[in-house]
Structure 1
Amino acid sequence: MKIPLIIFIGGGLGSVARYLANRWIVSQGVTVFPYGTFLVNIIGCFLIGFLVFITEKANITAVEWRLFLVTGFCGGFTTFSSFAFENIQLLTNHQLFSFILYTVGSIALGFLATYLGILLARAF
């Protein structure tokens, strides 16, 4: 029960951080482009890369810290960071086909699923 609680707390903090960052960016008056989500995704990608590397470099073997920071906080802040990191891992492991399938499939099927969800909701 300890591990899920650690992830839950990190995820909650990441979600609140995403909300506050997005709200602050939107409060700057730019609404033509979704800068809030865009910047949160980019910041999240930076954070997951930094945190994974720095915990490995510092020999932080406590699984709890990595779960709290990477799975919890970054996962709550943005799932795009996990998507980007997993793609980098596929490329690093020379799994080009899996990289293309995962990237194109996630984007295309994600858009399609979103559209189908909208269509289903409109039907009610």
Structure 2
Amino acid sequence: MTPLLVAVGAALGAPLRYLVDRAVQARHDTVFPWGTLIVNIAGCALLGFLAALPAGKGAMALAGTGFCGALTTYSTFGYETLRLAEEGARMFALFNAAASIAAGLAAAYCGLALAEALTA
């Protein structure tokens, strides 16, 4: 049952990631991968929130592993950062790496704090 829940969550998260990424990138005329940064930060916040809830294994498989796992994308982050560096946009590459890590951790912490505040 757990693999099915992960698959259902991923089937929802992956298309949402693609659609949000395209919508955000369409509004920015830059080589910087804003869309990927936004979905990764949002996914970190949601996963932090979910981790602090008293959810069962099924809910975490569906929403945490499946949905958030497909919504966020480390491989695309890595590819886009490397592409920026190879194309000479090294400052953008450094900013992307630093911002993704710092903002992702901050977002996860904020999601966790929000869930704890709501369940206290």
TM normalised by structure 2 equals 0.57
Between the aligned partners of 1:33 and 1:77, the Cα distance in structure 2 is: 19
Note the 1:1-124 alignment, pairs <5 A: 2-53=1-52, 55-56=53-54, 60=55, 62-80=56-74
Q: What do the CA deviations read for 1:94-116 (whole angstroms, capped 9, x no partner)?
A: xxxxxxxxxxxxx8xxx6xxx9x
Structure with the larger RCO, 1 or 2 (CA within 8 Å, 6+ apart): 2
Poorly superposed stretches of 4+, deviation over 4 Å: none
**Structure 1: where are the runs of 5+ without partners?**
81-106, 116-124
Deviation at 1:32, TM superposition (A): 2.7
Alignment size in residue pairs = 77
CA shift digits 1:25-46 (9 cap, x unpaired): 0121333311001111111111
Q: Distance in 2 between matches of 1:29 and 1:52?
A: 32
Against the structure 1 CA distance between its residues 52 and 22, is the aligned structure 2 distance closer, same or farther, given a 3 Å change threshold? Answer: same
* Cα root mean square deviation, aligned: 2.0
Shift of 1:67: 0.8
What's the TM-score once normalised by structure 1's chain length?
Answer: 0.56
Give the number of the structure whose alpha-carbon radius of gyration is greater: 1
Aligned to 1:102: none
Q: Give me the whole-angstrom Cα distance separating, in 2, the residues matched to 1:66 and 1:50.
A: 11
Unmatched runs of 5 consecutive residues or more in structure 2: 87-120
Letter in 2 for 1:40: V
Which residue identity does 1:67 align to in structure 2?
Answer: A
In 2, Cα distance between the equivalents of 1:29 and 1:41? Answer: 17
